[in-house]
Amino acid sequence: MSRNAPDGDDADTSNSRPQSNQGSTPVRTPRKQQKSSQQRLHTFQTPLHADESPTPTPSPSSRRLYPGTGGRTATDPDDSECATPTPAPHRYGLRARRASRGLSNKNNNNNNNNNNNIQTRVRNRNRNNPNCTCSHNTRPPASIMASGGKWREEQILIICPGSRTTMAQLGCGELSPPAHRIPTRMFRDEEEPEQWRPYYTYKRTTVTDGVEREEWVEDVDEDKGAVWPIEGGRIVQMDAFLAFLDHVHGLLTTTYHNTPIMLMASPQWTRPDCETIARYIFEKTKTPALCLIHSGIATQYGLKWPNMTVVDIGYEKVDVTAIHDGRVVNHMDLGRPLPDRFISGGEVFTRKLLQLLEGQGFNHDMAEQLKKSGICEVLPYAPAKKELMDLPVESSPNASQSQPRSTAAPGTTAEEGAAPGSGAVDSTVAAAAEAASQHAPTTDEPAVEEDVAMEDNDGLDTNVDEDGVLDVASIVTSGQTKEFLAKKEKEKEKEKGKPGRKSNKDKDGDAAAQARPLRQPNSKKVRNTFSYEEIVMEEVPKEVPAPVSAPTQGAGGGGVEEVVATEKAAEPAAEKAAEPATEPAAQGTQAEEDSKAPAPAATETEAPVVKTEESKPNGDDNDNENGTESKPAADVANGEQGKAADADTGAKANADADASAKNGEPPELRPKRIRREIEVGLERFLFADRAEIDRIVSTIYRTIQGVEDMYMRPACWDNLVFVGNGSRLRGLKDNILQTLNARHLISPSTATMFTSELPSNVATPAGTGSQTPVGSFSGAPHQLASSGVNPLLQAATTASTLGVAGRDTIQVATGSTPMVGSEAAGPASGHHFHSQTPTSIRTIALPTYLSEWSKNGFEEAMFLGAQVAARIAFCLHSNMDAQAIEAQKSMSLSRVDYNEHGPKAIRTHSMLS
Amino acid sequence: MWARISHHLRTDSLGALLRASQPIGRQPLRIANMAQQPLPSSAQPTDIYGGDEVSALVLDPGYCNTRAGYAGEDVPKSILPSFYGHITSDPPRDLFGDECIIPRGDFEVRNYMNKDSVVEDWDVAAKLWEFMLVKRLQPERQTHPSKNGLNDDIKEQDGEGDVAMEEVEGLEKPLEEFPLLMSEAPWNSPKAREKAIELSMESWGTPAFWLSRTPVLASFAAGKATALVIDVGGANTSVTAIHDGMVLKRSIQRSPAGGLWLSSQIRKMWETSEPKVDLVPTFMVENKTPVDALAPPQARLREFPFKIHDSFRAFEEERVLTEFKESVVEVWRGPGRYGAAGNEEYIKSQPGRVFEMPDGYNQMWREQRFKVAEGMWDENAGYPVPEDERLNKAQTIPELIRSALNSVDVDLRGTLLGNVVVTGSTSLINGFNDRLNNELTAMYPGLKIKIHAAGLSSERRFGAWIGGSILASLGTFHQMWISKKEYEENGAGIVEKRCK
């Protein structure tokens, strides 16, 4: 597994997409050149493949489609955006970028049918016009235009664009999580600024067979110069956005004429925006029908409650949409790009984290990874505390040294920033390690489970490549690779059988309980470590062109691969044996170290307590080597500091250096993945910016309280849902909910209980329970729910009997809290609702019958809803009466209607409000 | 002379126009007593008016809120408080929108409208309106990509608010494709009207413009060309007779008996209540603990490292007062007035309503919740307030109606009373319509009184905007617009001639 990957990809892709001929078409570039360029760019991907395979990907076919999926974890700051790349069971979309990359392979194949070089291609302007629109020149004539809204589920293209990532999929038959996550970005063509390219493209000169050639190379990962057409939900670059839509379409399908499009619209899209999009789609493409759906409505279709308040926490924006009976009744948002923009959403937390940790050498990428890791969490709202959260305090007597630090986080920052990588850090590590081991035996069972749940399921989850602090290198080098992998595989098999987080959690909890010593939950630890992965460009020898690719395979991909243990890891491990001598030597020493290391590393299945303090996160290989050298002291002191990862990389650097020396060729830059353990203190809790949470809380409050018809408000309060990948931040939803409850909840008042003149025999409200202030009480406390309540009691406790019966606004206070979907809520009966709200604040129950979504998390429920809506709008043909047909017709805009009414028809033929 | 005649023709046609046309869109109109029944929405052909092609914008500024949106839609897309944030530190800036009105230092809340619902600060008005009409309702402008990037930042630094204007001058103007219909208070000054058309034509480049008075629009929203419009708004209550789409100028009556006045009554009530009720606005409360009724609140208050300006606090207090009005305050429906013998005793025997303050303090309100609103009807009732805030007899709602009707032709009174349109958010107070009906019946026995008040709160709150939305989306309204050409030929004065 390695450099061949691209070829493998090709094969896979072409399997699944027989119409694309990329696998077999002759190359425009000379073979060798192509190879090297492939390799160069694919080195990014090769190690990543290894990761990918064991992931419980939704469907085998989709995995096949995305060979590159599962790569370098989360180098992207995208995650928190609404349509964030999120692989199935992850809390954050750690491998998202990869997914899109894998996708992009395919795109290239697709867009450039004549040119099979995947990553690199010589640009032929005539054929491969940079504007990806043109790639559709070859589509079949659209003579067969579907009419009358009859399409099959697999024909429908679903696109949910977000500011960072767009979720897309062809077909809505499976109701699966999005098959594709594509960065929402385009690049201006350097030569024709009016044109857009889907990837970063640069020119380079290569020498092949003595001939110097210029070629254009696409780097599918590069963000440089990217234009992000959507900002905070608003389309800021319409032409780029349209080109992007076209690009997405091109990735997923080749024809337009029978592919209706379901496009999710952010609430910020203006009416002219929607019309422009409609116009483009109908005039520039042969799309038969288009449905625009409001993202809040889409969420509602996904979760199927008639009344909801959708809180969509995205990358740089928060949308709060109150929906009553399927209609948007109020909407507010944060983070609109305005002259003065105050962003809101996931990125705010990343920035805050960065701000806190900058002194420790963190960069944005590290902050992002830390945020996504299991150890970063928003602690529960503690109403009485000064910081409004229960920060853990150092409890180990041995750790008195770090006591002051832990209570004052900024202090920590300063100290660590001042003494990078030297003794001070080591002692910190030692202290922390000691503290950890001290705590371990004292912790009880539930704590462990919680811990496991948090570390392994929520944030990092059980995928091999995300095993968080799993120190693969040490396992590999300790010679237990096979056993370990077998075990992991078994676990995974079991997990696959059991969908849903809960079961995973339980199972893992059990397994872990047996396998590892007991530990504290993350929220009780002053310090904790997370595993940071980055890709650095390292110099490697340029390959000697060899007739057989096998040797190069080892040299090319192996180095990085070993760090990444997957099912394929056995292979590189085997290959390693053949590698230059320095490496085994290094491994040998590590193995010794490892074997010396006591219990934790060996026994813990997933997260050995390996603390590695990296003072310089961006450290290159030299740093790593230095680190290795300086560590033994620490190792001795701690007795359990397996420095395997660093040592390993260091060793490999040596090996590579040697090799390059041998070859005597100019070294080539090659990406390499490095994983390091970084310890973080209380910053990982303190980043939970109260100001930001307060903003979200008050926006929710104002949105619902701003719903004009009061009777709708209780239903909206009782059906909150948090979506958007920004809400995956651990603890955030709970904290928001707790804050709402602590700040805004209207409690049942004692005034109604004791001041009304009740007959003594009905005085005790226990019979109905409706007036008892218990936790689950949900009615209007001052006006009582009518159902089942003694009418006398009700009359006595409400101001309903003023002798004006018969008027059209009898104010029988409320009747009842409008129940989900009930008609009683409406003003139809002449009853007006005048209760103060909220008397209860609850989130909705998420559907449980969609196991893939349970695994994926309903943060992307809008995509699910878009699929459901697409089915209804496009695929429902039978058992409909005239009214239903009419309603269906107004859900989407067909070409016939477009031809008749023009773009403005999208105003009435859509699901925008 | 000709202009005069044509103007008459035109204005006459406004009413005729409404009669001839149906409101379009998905407007859920509840038209009660109209000569023509609306088509069922499913049968409405979208382009019967041909006017659907016009993407007109409708702007309805009020004291509390400013509403803007596309004609033909049933609610304004963009609703912003007319209050805006002003950063006093250097550089001074204005911030628009609820999102920006948050506690911060060096920050004041101001309003560009005055309590007469007339624009006071035209500079800010222009900025706020442009913000709503352009930034919120129009797509990002693509014409000059170079301006999208760094240039914006530079401008922001030096430019405080004229940014938009400068940009506009350089580029094509932002609303060149959108006719604009604006609403105004019936007592708006000619100067302000000219200012509005100038702004629209010069700064935004609108191809057509129309200025319409809020009561006219509100009556349109109710589907009536002739009506007695009672608009109980935030800062004002006005009573206006509309005949065939025209305001009968002499009938215009107004008084401050609106939302603000009611707020001051509630404040007074809280102050004089025993125990005194402390108004702690929501933004100051970090969290609260439930307490017994009348017990002192137990809330943790938020601390700010800066001084909160009084104007901000007042703005936030108003939110609490609004909630109180929504859920507690009620108009005594009758029989008779609140002060009539026995009524108060009767109410006292009835259970009241509990209100929980943001800090958790809660209390049941019985007769007081009627008393606060009674002052709108009876100058002798209500809570005592300083002399200058007190309503005199002529300012109560029944008297406003009486004088409005007295100023119109006797023949018209019956028609008007058969078409009473109630609009404005303060009219949403519980019991308002019942009381109004009682008062009118008592004042005009023997005349048929028919009150039209929209059932949906949004239709009541945005009555004038909705009317504008209907009017501007009528294809036949095309001929009414003041076109850019007319403006260029006649100057700003044209608005006085045309928009009567």
Residue A292 DSSP label: E
Nearest residue on chain A to B94, alpha-carbon basis: A340
| Interface-testing mutation among A294, A750, A800, with chain B (most B C-beta atoms within 10 A) | A750
Query: For residue A903, what are the contacts with CB-CB under 8 A and spacing of at least 6?
Result: A275, A276, A278, A279, A282
**Inter-chain CB proximity B455 and A827 less than 8 Å:** yes
Could you give the ipTM of this predicted complex?
A: 0.87
Length of chain A: 913
The answer to whether the beta carbons of residues A376 and A353 sit under 8 Å apart is: yes
How many beta carbons lie within 10 A of that of residue B154, not counting itself?
10
Q: Looking at the DSSP assignment, which residues form a beta bridge with residue B184?
A: B213
At residue A493, the pLDDT reads 54
* Higher-confidence position of B1 and B344: B344
A-chain CB neighbours of B328 within 8 Å are: 834, 836
Residue B55 DSSP label: -
Q: Categorise residue B364: left if φ over 0, alpha if ψ from -120 to 50, beta otherwise.
A: beta
Give the containing element (helix H, strand E) for B458.
helix B457-461
Going by C-alpha positions, the residue among A175, A174, A188, A157 that lies closest to residue A251 is A157
* Higher-confidence position of B494 and B33: B494
- Assign B456 a pLDDT band (cuts: 50, 70, 90): confident
The answer to whether the beta carbons of residues B396 and B378 sit under 8 Å apart is: yes
Give the per-residue SS3 of A416-438: HHHCCCCHHHHHHHHHHHHHHHH
What are A903's two structure tokens?
Answer: 């773009």
The answer to whether the beta carbons of residues A463 and A668 sit under 8 Å apart is: no
Sign of CA dihedral B75, B81, B87, B91: positive
In angstroms, the CA A294 to CA A300 distance is 10
**Inter-chain CB proximity B139 and A782 less than 8 Å:** no
- Assign B323 a pLDDT band (cuts: 50, 70, 90): very high
At residue B336, the pLDDT reads 85
Residue carrying the six token digits 């501007």: B472
The answer to whether the beta carbons of residues B130 and B61 sit under 8 Å apart is: no
At residue B58, the pLDDT reads 95
Omega prior to A838 cis, within 30 of 0: yes
Query: For residue A514, what are the contacts with CB-CB under 8 A and spacing of at least 6?
Result: none
**Amino acid code (one letter) for A124:** N
What are B204's two structure tokens?
Answer: 């935004």
Query: For residue B491, what are the contacts with CB-CB under 8 A and spacing of at least 6?
Result: none
Tell me whether B325 touches chain A (CB under 8 Å): no
What are A129's two structure tokens?
Answer: 């016009």
Q: Give the closest-approach CA distance of A127 to chain B in angstroms.
A: 28
How much is the mean pLDDT over chain B? 83
The answer to whether the beta carbons of residues A911 and A869 sit under 8 Å apart is: yes
Whole-prediction pTM value?
Answer: 0.70
Between positions 670 and 699 of A, the ones with CB within 8 A of B are 695, 698-699
Q: Give the closest-approach CA distance of A392 to chain B in angstroms.
A: 22
Name the phi and psi angles at A798, rounded to 5. -125, 165
| Three-class DSSP category at A451 | helix
Q: How far is CA B351 from the centre of its chain?
A: 33
pLDDT tens column, B6-56: 333 344 445 565 555 544 333 333 333 333 334 333 433 344 334 446 689
**Inter-chain CB proximity A384 and B98 less than 8 Å:** no
A-chain CB neighbours of B356 within 8 Å are: 746-747, 749, 836
**Inter-chain CB proximity A708 and B461 less than 8 Å:** yes
| Interface-testing mutation among B333, B362, B451, with chain A (most A C-beta atoms within 10 A) | B362
Tell me whether A339 touches chain B (CB under 8 Å): yes
Chains A–B, number of C-beta pairs less than 8 Å apart = 169
In angstroms, the CA A302 to CA A856 distance is 13
Orientation of helix B432-443 relative to helix B397-406, angle to 10°? 50
Tell me whether B206 touches chain A (CB under 8 Å): no
At residue A665, the pLDDT reads 52
B-chain CB neighbours of A813 within 8 Å are: 353
Omega prior to A547 cis, within 30 of 0: no
| Interface-testing mutation among A235, A271, A692, with chain B (most B C-beta atoms within 10 A) | A271
Give chain B's count of helices (H) and strands (E): 18, 19
In angstroms, the CA A342 to CA A336 distance is 8
- Assign B132 a pLDDT band (cuts: 50, 70, 90): very high
B-chain CB neighbours of A271 within 8 Å are: 55, 70, 77, 137
| Three-class DSSP category at A367 | helix
How many beta carbons lie within 10 A of that of residue B36, not counting itself?
12
Residue carrying the six token digits 């990735």: A251
A-chain CB neighbours of B292 within 8 Å are: 750
At residue A496, the pLDDT reads 52
Between positions 93 and 112 of B, the ones with CB within 8 A of A are 93, 95-100, 102
At residue A218, the pLDDT reads 80
Query: Between A699, A798, A834, which is nearest B430 by CB?
Result: A834
Buried b / exposed e along B47-82 (16+ C-beta atoms within 10 A): bebebbebbbbbbbbbbbbbbbbbbbbbbbbbbbbb
What are A514's two structure tokens?
Answer: 């047996």
In angstroms, the CA B478 to CA B210 distance is 10
Q: What is the CA radius of gyration of chain B?
A: 24
**Inter-chain CB proximity B461 and A273 less than 8 Å:** no
The answer to whether the beta carbons of residues B388 and B256 sit under 8 Å apart is: no
Percent of chain B having pLDDT more than 90?
Answer: 62
Tell me whether B271 touches chain A (CB under 8 Å): no
In angstroms, the CA A453 to CA A448 distance is 8
The CA-CA-CA angle for residues A667, A668, A670, to 5°, reads: 130
| Three-class DSSP category at B70 | strand
Length of chain B: 500
The CA-CA-CA angle for residues B20, B22, B25, to 5°, reads: 155
Going by C-alpha positions, the residue among A601, A638, A621 that lies closest to residue A473 is A601
Cα distances (angstroms) measured from residue B482 to each of B1, B7, B485, B492, B493: 18, 12, 8, 10, 11
A-chain CB neighbours of B138 within 8 Å are: 270, 272
Task: Decide: residue A847, CB within 10 A, 0-12 exposed, 13-18 middle, 19+ buried.
Answer: middle
What are A386's two structure tokens?
Answer: 């000064």
| Three-class DSSP category at B246 | strand
Orientation of helix A31-42 relative to helix A5-16, angle to 10°? 90
Task: Decide: residue A66, CB within 10 A, 0-12 exposed, 13-18 middle, 19+ buried.
Answer: buried
| Three-class DSSP category at B206 | coil
Between positions 442 and 471 of B, the ones with CB within 8 A of A are 455-458, 461
At residue A483, the pLDDT reads 57
Tell me whether A751 touches chain B (CB under 8 Å): yes
Q: Please list the rounded mean pLDDT of every run of 10 residues in chain A (913 residues).
A: 37 35 33 34 32 34 30 35 34 29 36 35 35 34 44 91 93 90 90 85 80 80 86 91 93 84 94 93 91 95 93 94 94 81 89 91 90 89 88 62 38 38 40 42 39 37 36 45 57 51 44 54 85 78 48 37 38 42 41 40 36 39 39 38 40 45 57 85 88 93 92 94 93 94 90 48 38 37 38 38 32 34 34 79 91 92 94 86 89 92 90 86
Tell me whether B311 touches chain A (CB under 8 Å): no
Q: Looking at the DSSP assignment, which residues form a beta bridge with residue B119?
A: B113
Tell me whether B334 touches chain A (CB under 8 Å): yes
The answer to whether the beta carbons of residues B291 and B297 sit under 8 Å apart is: yes
